[in-house]
Structure 1
Amino acid sequence: MIDDLHPVLSGLRPLSQLRHPREMIRQFTPNWFAATMGTGILALALPQVPDIGPALLPVGRALWLFNIALFALFSVLYAARWILFTDEARRIFGHNTVSMFIGTIPMGLATIINGCLAFGIGLFGAGIVGVAEVLWWLDVTMSLVCGVMIPYLMFTRQDHSLDAMTAVWLLPVVAAEVAGASGGLLAPHLAAGPGLIVITTSYVLWAYSVPVALSILAVLILRMALHRLPNESMAASAWLALGPIGTGALGMLLLGADAPAILGAHGLATIGTIANGLGAIAGLTLWGFGLWWLVLATLITLRYWRAGIPFNLGWWGYTFPLGVYTVATFRLGTTFHIAFFGWAGTLLTVTLALMWLLVGGKTLAGAWRGNLFVSPCIAKPN
């Protein structure tokens, strides 16, 4: 009888699935930062729900503060891994999949920066804008490096094949456009000179990322047509493609809205007007592309879930891509003054919140037991 209860009782003890609590640090990977992406984007989406947004503002604010604590905790754990287990931590650069998740670190930070502007000003005053600006430039630096160095390692050090390709290839590349969209939120809060620098940098970040991401998507469609769907452990990767599409649309909408005032203050009013129009059309066009992928990803997910799939940290891929597409939907509603986008955004927000609760609950349970602390790159020597 006692033996029968042992698995249940062991599950009640923290980190019971690890040989030693120190394994939590040794096995910690950047995959965990995907949780900060999903949490952060839900926090930003909630206050934008039409009619009830003000009532949801305190919930979004609380999630943002929680996300800061989460990001800080993960940063400490990952830094500790590099300090205590340097040789093993370095192996990430040779791993085909885990290395891609380095891109989740700057993207998780971007949600915190956006929250500084959406929630922080009301809580701490205008002084937090300076903090957001410093963090944004840090985010830009990490995104630029990640967007080139991970693909470089793919070309020179890692072993890839078309049949093994998944949408995680997008993660290091998309970080730059996420930073660009954040720049669109930051620029209006800055003085004329810094605002111009931020908005021009953000356009460069968009161009640095979106065309490459769309190229990867073209190859990904070919891969799925030739080799069917990835294995069940990568089920959530079907949603990752929605990330660069939704972020690309949001970035164009935000930057286009900023352009008339910021560029006009520097004698570039005509360019600002053109940028505003192009931003609206580009955002709407990309949103339409995203709608196609949203339906496709839903069908793929239903197929996976009918067969039954085990939980892993990759499930956070269901949240952030859907979240940025949701925020882009709300932005289209305010840009074109069409109620449909508000209704669609509300439905997407409800779906996002339910998915966050599901994935968050499973992550909390897995973290408590310790079975989610797994570093595949340790088992693969360079």
Structure 2
Amino acid sequence: MSLKPFANKELKKIIRNFTPNWFTVNMGTGISFLTLFNIRADLFPGELLLGQVIWFVDIFFFVLFSFLFIYRMILFPDTIKPMLQHPVQSMFLGAIPMALVPVLEGFAIFGPSFLGEQAINIALFLWWIDVILAVGVGWLLPYLMSTTQEKHKLENMTAVWLLPIVASEVTASAGGVLAPYFSGETAKTIIIVSYVLWTFSVPLAFSILVILFLRLATHKLPHRAMATTSWLPLGPLGTGSLGMLLLGSATKATYIGIYISQISDFLASFGFITGLLLWGYGLWWYVMAWLFTIKYFNEGLPFNMGWWGFTFPVGVFTAATFQLWRVTDYTIFEILGLIFSFQLIIFWILVFTKTLKGMWSGYLFQAPCLSKETGLPKPLEDCNKVNN
């Protein structure tokens, strides 16, 4: 199929086929600028300026995608039910709150240079919105999976199941970033809510990883259209590790002079131990993901929106690695963090470029839930095919 200019595509057709997996663009782009912020300035002198530029780009795309997604639900309400009933596309609703996290963290990190202290309040406001979204999808999707969605079989299962679950712990890690910017009851509330959000996600994510390993052992690797899901387990493990490390430090600094201060030292130590253990588990999945990916590439791996799975999971695992370096001062964590950062930036440039090409031609605007066929994996393959 010949490429057609994006400008010539019918806008209503694009809106009708706009899917929540587009928010993975924000996830990958957002974690990229946050990773640049983690690199020492003496190693990368332009990291602050470049991070700010990418943050603005991320905000632009988040606003654009939010507008298109909301407009789709208003103009085409008949597409909402098929989207919610689709066993794969519905999972990407979890990408929406995760996409908002880098944006709000950017307001806390970069915002004061442009908006003053008001940027911190904006970050907190967006964080509470994110809490509602993360908890909402974290309850809604498992409920739909258990009641009305079909086609959920062990042989069809992939790590995509993690997406609505992981959203809560991503929000929890953002709470660990924001809490030090506040004091008093505000900081304490952020920390308590974040710990609860962490438990909403990580234990359930562990159970999904167990099922995923069973599925891989009994039914082998999924279809190549879902190849990048091999990287998704790094998401809950990297974010879970990062969340415990950040919340442990924030708790020790916030709870002083009251009862809970007696256990704040324990929570800081517990955060480090838990974070290190989750990081180690993530390292195992990191190597396995590379082995699976090399096998897929040898067999031929066409581009689809799932390629954004190469970015965000690696990014949060990188962030956890850098946080372990700050806590321990072990050079090995800094070296590994830099290696992971290099991988992330290379993947982001590659995927971002291909995505822009797909947006311009219009072939990426195809909603799996609107396919005439409803079985798996056929419509999944059809809706993710590309013309290189």
Output the TM-score relative to the length of structure 1.
0.95
Change (3 A) 1:326 1:140: same
SS of corresponding position for 1:374:
coil
Aligned to 1:3: none
Distance 1:118 1:342 in 2: 21
Q: What is the identity percentage for the equivalent residue pairs of Structure 1 and Structure 2?
A: 45
Alignment partner for residue 39 of structure 1, among 11, 19, 29?
A: 29
Q: Retained in 1: the 8 A contact 2:183–2:254?
A: no
Alignment partner for residue 112 of structure 2, among 117, 121, 133?
A: 121
- Higher deviation after alignment, 247-256 or 81-90: 81-90
Alignment partner for residue 322 of structure 2, among 327, 330, 333?
A: 330
Is 2:99 aligned against 1:108? yes
- Mapping 1:257-336, distance limit 5 Å: 257-336=249-328
SS of corresponding position for 1:373:
coil
Cα distance, 1:253 vs. partner? 0.4
- Mapping 1:1-382, distance limit 5 Å: 11=3, 13-14=5-6, 18=9, 20-50=10-40, 51-159=42-150, 160-379=152-371
Distance 2:229 2:119 in 1: 35
Distance 1:92 1:300 in 2: 29
Distance 2:173 2:109 in 1: 14
SS of corresponding position for 1:99:
helix
Cα distance, 1:54 vs. partner? 4.8
- Higher deviation after alignment, 82-91 or 318-327: 82-91
Q: Retained in 1: the 8 A contact 2:4–2:362?
A: no
Cα distance, 1:89 vs. partner? 2.8
1:120 aligned partner, one-letter code: G
1:222 aligned partner, one-letter code: L
Q: Retained in 2: the 8 A contact 1:121–1:129?
A: yes
Output one character per residue of 1:23-48: Cα deviation in whole Å (capped at 9) or x when no partner.
11010000000000000000000121
Distance 2:86 2:340 in 1: 34
Distance 1:285 1:267 in 2: 28
Change (3 A) 1:266 1:115: farther
SS of corresponding position for 2:68:
helix
Q: Retained in 2: the 8 A contact 1:236–1:314?
A: yes
Structure 2 unaligned spans of 5+: 375-388
Q: Retained in 2: the 8 A contact 1:243–1:325?
A: yes
- Higher deviation after alignment, 42-51 or 277-286: 42-51
Aligned to 2:380: none
Distance 1:109 1:272 in 2: 29
Q: Retained in 2: the 8 A contact 1:95–1:380?
A: no
Cα distance, 1:268 vs. partner? 2.4
Q: Retained in 2: the 8 A contact 1:243–1:324?
A: yes
Distance 2:303 2:353 in 1: 11
Change (3 A) 1:380 1:274: farther
SS of corresponding position for 1:264:
coil
Q: Retained in 2: the 8 A contact 1:32–1:74?
A: yes
Distance 1:165 1:104 in 2: 18
Q: Retained in 1: the 8 A contact 2:98–2:167?
A: yes
Distance 1:301 1:314 in 2: 13
Distance 1:11 1:285 in 2: 48
Q: Retained in 1: the 8 A contact 2:23–2:99?
A: yes
2:18 aligned partner, one-letter code: F
Distance 1:255 1:122 in 2: 25
Q: Retained in 2: the 8 A contact 1:252–1:282?
A: yes
Structure 1 unaligned spans of 5+: 1-6
Distance 2:329 2:256 in 1: 24
Distance 2:227 2:170 in 1: 23
Q: Retained in 1: the 8 A contact 2:30–2:55?
A: yes
Distance 1:14 1:194 in 2: 46
Output one character per residue of 1:323-371: Cα deviation in whole Å (capped at 9) or x when no partner.
0000110000000011111111011111100000110011000110000
Distance 1:380 1:226 in 2: 30
Q: Retained in 2: the 8 A contact 1:15–1:367?
A: no
Output one character per residue of 1:277-308: Cα deviation in whole Å (capped at 9) or x when no partner.
00111111111000000000000000001111
Question: Would you say how many aligned residue pairs link Structure 1 and Structure 2?
Answer: 372
1:360 aligned partner, one-letter code: F
